[in-house]
Structure 1
Amino acid sequence: MDGQKSGGLKVWLPLLFALVMVLGMTLGFNLRDTLRNKRDIQAVIERNDRLEEIIDLINEKYVDSVNSNLLYKDAITGILSHLDPHTVYIPADELQGVNEDLEGSFFGIGVEFAIVRDTIEVTSVVEDGPAEHAGIHEGDKLIKVDDKVVAGTKITSEKIIKMLRGKQHTRVNLTIKDALSAKLKQLPIERDVVPLYSIDASMMLDNETGFIKINRFSATTYDEFMKSLKSLKEKGMRQLILDLRDNPGGYLDAATHIADQFLDDEKLIVYTQGRKSARTDYKASDPGIFEHGRLAVLIDENSASASEILSGAIQDWDRGVLIGRRSFGKGLVQEQYDLDDGSALRLTIAKYYTPSGRSIQRSFAKGKEAYEEDFENRYKSGELTGKDSAAKDDDHKVYYTSQKRVVYGGGGIKPDIYVPYDTAKLSGGILSIIFSDELKIALWDYYLSHVTELRQYKTIAEFDQHFDSEEAIVKGYLQTVKPSEKGAAEKILNKPGSLAYFKLQAKAQLARILFRNNGYYSITMKDDNVIQKALEILRGNKYSDIIKR
């Protein structure tokens, strides 16, 4: 018996040692990783303790009093300065506004206003918001908020906004002076969700051409876009101009879902990849409602991020024609991390690549200051004003669209048709007049003194055809300008081109008061060289020549 046991042990002993060795190695590797993680965590704690120790020493020993919050903010800024330009720290007091812009709503009553001669004038009422339901109109004056008089008190816009916004379903009592009757009216309004629309305009330009302008890609953009697209199709739209100019981007999902409406199933829209982020493909999956029909996408130097994802997919699949100027050149993906003190870090975690494989991120090797001077450099080189060849590709590698057209990466997306700035609008100080407070005041004075007759216009087309009082607005503007600045303003407006542009903008801004953004764009697009070029391309044979179909 004993001999048999001893023999059995000898047989199993090598296997036992092997198992012990494997177990030991496994435990060793796991322990190594665990200790490594502990060391990494400890290093973070030590580095954090070091920062805390320095700031504590400054608070305790420094010769003058200091603001600890500013020290922390400066320290964070210093750390992030070594990263890309789009990794940013968002302080707690700014985070709510940033998030509201992307989420597409906030809680309030839904009015826009301007302080004119120390009076709060309602300049716009948000469609389907609480103020519209309560009966507030453009031109009404805000006299009191609850028991506080706000008219004639030199109150700031920031204070008014704070008084009008609040928690959902809370009540605010307004005293309003009616624009038509001049009577005071008491309006109790319940604060509720106020939409921040990302579709600026949606309209038919002719019997078959639709127009949609997207100002950003927020959480509500896709739903807004689908509503607009379906409405235009019901009106007979067979070709579309999609305006992404001045669109800084936003949510990637919003851009890919919209791209899905233009592209066949399973086509790659974009893919993302980073050092710690595995490749993720975004493909068309739904039966799009505009997969056929001519498409023109308008871009410029302010079209960034999600705008470039959408326009890049359209270009790489030869689905439509890109018209305008080279886009911003942002090919990085950020993820937001909320911090304990209510602030947030928006950290770059990956790069995105268009279907052909190109990254369109422009170089930031020379630092953030040089990166931010890109617009100025494009202007100086002549790229914005007439020299398309001045546009530079950071990535000289050749990529190909689905129809074997050559495209390049880096430095943004080049349009298929280049359209320069209209330099007449950039010279002679005309822009400073167009966006001046004096013009706003002159427009409001005109509107309030003619509100009854202006509200008789039932359609944009009727207003466009019959309104011809631009000279009265010019006169009102010159009466509003300070005497010391009047001579310079008259000199600018004596130029026929500048005067014509002033009148067009004045009429368009008045149309915006009457018919919201559709009114504004309906007037201005007649003098918009990019939109006019898009119409020319869509209506002619050049469209097919460009995309090789």
Structure 2
Amino acid sequence: MNEKKKLQVWLPLLFAVIMIVGMVLGYKLRENTQTARSIFQFNTKRSPLQEVLDLVMLKYVDKVDTDTLGNDAIQDMLAKLDPHSNFIPAEHLTELNEDLQGNFQGIGIEFQIFKDTVNVMNVVPGGPSEKAGLLVGDKFLKVGDSVVTGRISAEGIKKLLRGPGGSTVTTTILRGTKTMNVTIERGIIPLPSLEAAYMAVPGTGFMRISKFSETTYEEFMSALEKLKAAGMQSLVLDLRGNGGGILGEAIDMADEFLDGDKLIVYTEGNNTPRQEYRARRKGLYEKGKLVLLMDEQSASASEVLAGALQDWDRATIVGHRSFGKGLVQEQYELSDGSALRLTVARYYTPSGRSIQKPYDKGLDAYDNDILDRYQHGELVNADSNKVVNGKAYKTNAGKTVYGGGGIMPDYFISADTSTLAIPFSALYRNNTLSNFSYLYYVSHSDQINRYKDATAFRDNFNWSETDWTGFINLAARDSVDLKGLPPHEKTFLQDRLKGLLARYRWRNDGYYQVMNVKDEVVEKALELAK
């Protein structure tokens, strides 16, 4: 009984103590939480920009789409910062992210409509349509219950074929004279960044990479192992036209070429402390000759890889001066589903050079830089192929390199301007080249399949005069007159048609095996790789 009385006396006091301690801890936790939040929260005071948008929405004489108006205002603001900070509206974000992810959802074909019939122009390797057995040359008759012969638009057929991953679509196709029912399960479509990997000559491999996506390093390693198993001792790595992408993929690739803990690249910005990226593991190709191909469209992550290999004297660079993009962007998701890609740092090669070209003359001047290079003769004249007023640096072996405007090649190869008289824009705008090569492939597939590989096709196939006349007639229907072309221009077009024809049978490996034979940059690279 005494024990119960003692408990009754002390219990309220105990609760009071617990309550006071809880209040103190809660206050401290709230204080710390508010301090932490203040780092990430923006000032709640409304900016003049928001006030103006609100007034336009409330008071303007006509109806205005304030979302579009706001997006344009954001873009104009970012244009004052640098050429690569960018606002991405929500409706465009998925498409842009797919390219970096290396895949998207669909059935995995390219198609073209000829004479009111949907033709399969390409089947993506590893995609749902390939797994279902679709082939180049197949023609769609029905998709589901809908007949797709006759007047159907490209958008119409896309709507019928698209759907969520895992769902199925039943199709009726015509293959030659045989009608077939094919069920395709929609799924992930790979978007490979490795366009080609093959042995160019005994002992020397060729590899072409078009971008740096989330799957690039994995694709590169698989191809590298394949080429080494085939006896590769020298490698030609083609990064022409590669506009960059995910920096980490380029860093991982550089690690395969560099030994020890060599510095690959470092980044630094006003609000971003210096961060170094070094070789971390034993690479698969630390020895052996390496030749890197670049041009004025090679940018960003491509230049990181090239800059590291050049500064450590690991690779020989062949081609033209690269684009000159040395700014690092980070992507921030916004509350409405849009995103901001904001420049947060510059990257620097191991020698300390920033290769970002100037952008102080405005966005138009920056965008026209490549055209200016052509007009000033840089693409055809080695003496003008240099960084103007660029700061000099030294590679590990003491070779002089320059910052401030791209990666300079060790060997300059002049661009071929002899074919500029050909009306290329009209041929490509009307798909004349791809249409002719596809129609030829469909009607001559038995003949083309007799070649055991792309090399045999490259060395033995030639267009007849009848074939050439057929191409001239097709171009004429697209209002392009190709009669009386000079011999070198005729050869130029025939080579491209041959390459496209090889692509239908042997995909991109076949295309580049045909096209690289007369590519002066590749020829020089193979010479240096011996």
For normalisation by structure 1, the TM-score amounts to 0.86
Offset at residue 430 of structure 1 (A): 5.1
Conserved? CA contact 2:463–2:494, under 8 Å? no
5+ unaligned residues in a row in structure 2: which ranges? 1-27
Structure 1 residue 46 corresponds to structure 2 residue 46? yes
Residue identity in the other structure for 2:462: D
Check the 8 A contact 1:430/1:498 in 2, yes or no. Answer: no
Secondary structure of 2:483's partner?
helix
Shift of 1:436: 4.4
Q: In the alignment, which of 523, 527, 530 is matched to residue 532 of structure 1?
A: 523
Give SS of 2:217's match. Answer: helix
Q: Which amino acid aligns with 2:252?
A: H
- Quote how far apart the aligned CAs of 1:230 are: 0.4
Match of 1:546 in 2: none
For the 8 Å contact 1:434–1:505, the answer to whether it is kept is: no
Gaps of 5+ in 1: 1-26, 540-549
Moved more, 359-368 or 144-153: 144-153
Instruction: Tell me, yes or no, if the aligned pair for 2:321 and 2:386 is still in contact at 8 Å.
Output: no
Q: Following superposition of structure 1 onto structure 2, how do residues 265-344 of structure 1 map, counting pairs within 5 Å?
A: 265-344=260-339
Q: Which residue of 2 aligns with 1:135?
A: 133
Q: Deviations over 1:186-208 (max 9, x none)?
A: 21111111111000000001110
Pick from 238, 241, 251 the counterpart of residue 256 of structure 1: 251
The whole-number CA distance in structure 2 between the counterparts of 1:340 and 1:45 is 18
Assess, with a 3 A threshold, how the Cα gap between structure 1 residues 352 and 146 changes in structure 2: closer, same or farther. same
Counterpart residue identity of residue 441, structure 1: N
SS where residue 521 of structure 1 aligns? helix
Q: Tell me if 1:172 matches 2:150.
A: no
* Structure 2 residue 433 is the aligned partner of structure 1 residue 439: yes
Secondary structure, aligned partner of 1:133: helix
Percent identical pairs in the alignment equals 44
Written as runs of structure 1 = structure 2, the 5 A alignment for 1:93-492 is 93-156=91-154, 158-178=155-175, 180=176, 182-385=177-380, 387-393=381-387, 396-429=390-423, 432-433=426-427, 436-482=430-476, 485=479, 488-491=481-484
Contact 2:254–2:309 at 8 Å: present in 1 too? yes
Assess if the C-alpha contact under 8 Å between 1:394 and 1:409 holds in 2.
no
Q: Which amino acid aligns with 1:86?
A: H
Counterpart among 479, 500, 513 of residue 522 in structure 1: 513
CA–CA distance in structure 1, aligned partners of residues 524 and 237 of structure 2: 13
AA matched with 1:111: I
Bigger drift between 127-136 and 465-474 goes to 465-474
1:335–1:40 CA distance, 2 compared to 1 (3 A): closer
* Cα distance change, pair 508–333 in 1 and its aligned pair in 2 (3 A): same
Q: Distance in 1 between matches of 2:108 and 2:459?
A: 31
Number of the residue aligned with 1:11 = none
C-alpha displacement at 1:470, in angstroms? 4.7
Letter aligned with residue 417 of structure 1: Y
Residues 214-259 of structure 1: per-residue CA shift (max 9 Å, x gap): 0000000000000000000000000000000000000111001000
Matches within 5 A, 1:79-94: 79-94=77-92
Question: Partner amino acid for 1:41?
Answer: F
In the alignment, the residues of structure 2 paired with residue 484 and residue 186 of structure 1 have an alpha-carbon distance, to the nearest angstrom, of 34
CA distance, structure 2, for counterparts of residue 359 and residue 350 of structure 1:
11
Distance 1:470 1:197 in 2: 34
Q: Deviations over 1:282-339 (max 9, x none)?
A: 1011111110001000000000000000000110000010000000000010111111
Q: TM-score, normalised by structure 2?
A: 0.89
CA RMSD of aligned residues (A): 2.3
Distance 1:35 1:92, change over 3 A: closer
Letter in 2 for 1:172: V
Task: Confirm or deny: 8 A CA contact 2:438 2:504 kept in the other structure.
Answer: no
In 2 relative to 1, CA 511–465 (structure 1 residues): closer, same or farther, beyond 3 Å? same
User: Measured at CA, do residues 366 and 444 of structure 1 come closer, stay the same or move farther in structure 2, by a change above 3 Å?
Assistant: same
Query: How far apart, in 1, do the equivalents of 2:233 and 2:70 lie?
Result: 56
Deviations 1:380-415 (A, max 9, x none): 110012x12223425532210010001110110100
1:162 Cα deviation from its structure 2 partner? 4.3
Q: Classify 1:433/1:483 alpha carbon distance in 2 versus 1 (closer, same or farther; 3 Å).
A: closer
Residues 1:495 and 2:486 aligned together: yes
Alpha-carbon spacing, 1:96–1:124, altered in 2? closer, same or farther (3 Å) = same
- Equivalent AA in structure 1 for residue 483 of structure 2: E
421-430 vs 270-279, greater mean Cα deviation = 421-430
Contact 2:168/2:184, CA 8 A, preserved across alignment = yes
Hey, what does 2:71 align to over in structure 1? 73
| Cα separation, partners in 2 of 1:62 and 1:150, compared to 1, 3 Å | farther
* Superimposed CA distance per residue, residues 108-140 of structure 1 (whole angstroms, 9 cap, x where no aligned partner): 111112223332211111112111111100011
Q: Which amino acid aligns with 2:500?
A: Q
- Aligned-partner Cα distance in 1 for 2:40–2:248: 37
Deviation at 1:435, TM superposition (A): 6.7
Instruction: Measure the CA separation in 2 of the matches of 1:480 and 1:328.
Output: 37
CA displacement 1:87-125 (0-9 Å, x = unmatched): 011111111111110010111111112223332211111
Which residue of 2 is the match for residue 5 of structure 1? Answer: none
Counterpart of 1:254 in structure 2: which amino acid? E
* Displacement over 4 Å in runs of 4+: 33-40
Q: CA deviation at 1:56?
A: 3.4
**CA spacing shift, 1:191–1:34, aligned 2, 3 Å:** closer
Q: Distance in 2 between matches of 1:45 and 1:154?
A: 53
